[in-house]
């Protein structure tokens, strides 16, 4: 099943949260396919060249989580640009962590430019937004997102991690 929400294309994965999850959940506006809770409050943003090796993108994803100080169990989703919606390496990362993968169009990602740590004119010239990994991670969560890990690179891919701060009343 696939959902379209104004610049967002969501592909639900097999499982987002465990069936025994009793933590209070926050549903993100317009993104019913992912749930952010106290356990899963991070999004991994990925960018890659077409046909990037699965092993390279997976290794970069694992390195990003390590650098951010989190485990795969803390991921709510993987996010990227819609032109990579059929990219096997990105889909493999989401499947590996059993989380949904969200894809945003370049117009939506460009709206995140003021919050990017590493905006790139080269990326803008190629895909129409100043960043993919950072912007996708931020866009997946929304205004309450903060970058935990700015863009890191491998030869053919980029990764970044964002999170939402949960505050109990």
Q: Which residue has the higher pLDDT, 8 or 117?
A: 117
On whether residue 66 sits in a domain, the answer given is yes
Does residue 25 fall inside a structural domain?
no
Q: Kindly report the pTM of this predicted structure.
A: 0.80
What's the pLDDT score for residue 166? Answer: 59
In a domain, 60, yes or no: yes
CA of 118: how far to CAs of 48, 53, 73, 113, in Å?
16, 24, 27, 9
CB atoms within 10 A of CB 56: 16
Percent above pLDDT 90 for the chain: 72
Residue 18 lies in a domain: no
**Tens digits of residue pLDDT in 45-80:** 999 999 999 999 999 999 999 999 999 999 999 999
Is 114 part of any domain?
yes
Q: How far is the C-alpha of 111 from the C-alpha of 119, rounded, in Å?
A: 12
Residue 70 lies in a domain: yes
Residue 14: band (very low, low, confident or very high) from pLDDT cuts 50, 70, 90 = very low
Rounded Cα gap, residues 76 and 17, in angstroms: 8
Tell me how many domains the chain contains.
1
Q: Is the pLDDT of residue 1 over 90?
A: no
Counting residues of the chain whose pLDDT is more than 70, the rounded percentage is 78
- 119 domain residue, yes or no: yes
- Domain, as residue range, for 135: 3-13+31-157
What are the structure tokens assigned to 56, written together?
């390279």
CATH number at residue 113: 3.30.420.180
Lowest mean pLDDT among 11-20, 39-48, 96-105, 125-134: 11-20
Q: Does any domain span residue 168? A: no
Which residue, 132, 139, 154, 144, is CA-closest to 46?
132
pLDDT in tens, 108-146: 999 999 999 999 999 999 999 999 999 999 999 999 999
């Amino acid at each position: 099943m696939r959902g379209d929400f104004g610049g967002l294309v969501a592909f639900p994965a097999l499982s987002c949260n465990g069936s025994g999850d009793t933590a209070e959940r926050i549903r993100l506006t317009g993104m019913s396919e992912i749930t952010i809770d106290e356990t899963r409050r991070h999004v991994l943003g990925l960018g890659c060249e077409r046909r990037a090796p699965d092993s390279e993108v997976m290794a970069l994803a694992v390195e990003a989580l390590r650098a951010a100080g989190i485990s795969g169990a803390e991921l709510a989703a993987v996010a990227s640009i819609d032109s990579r919606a059929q990219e096997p390496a990105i889909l493999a990362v989401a499947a590996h962590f059993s989380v949904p993968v969200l894809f945003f169009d370049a117009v939506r990602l460009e709206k995140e430019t003021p919050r990017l740590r590493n905006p790139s004119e080269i990326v803008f010239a190629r895909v129409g937004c100043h960043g993919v990994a950072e912007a996708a991670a931020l866009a997946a969560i929304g205004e309450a997102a903060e970058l935990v890990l700015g863009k890191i690179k491998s030869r053919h891919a980029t990764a970044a991690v964002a999170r939402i701060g949960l505050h109990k009343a």
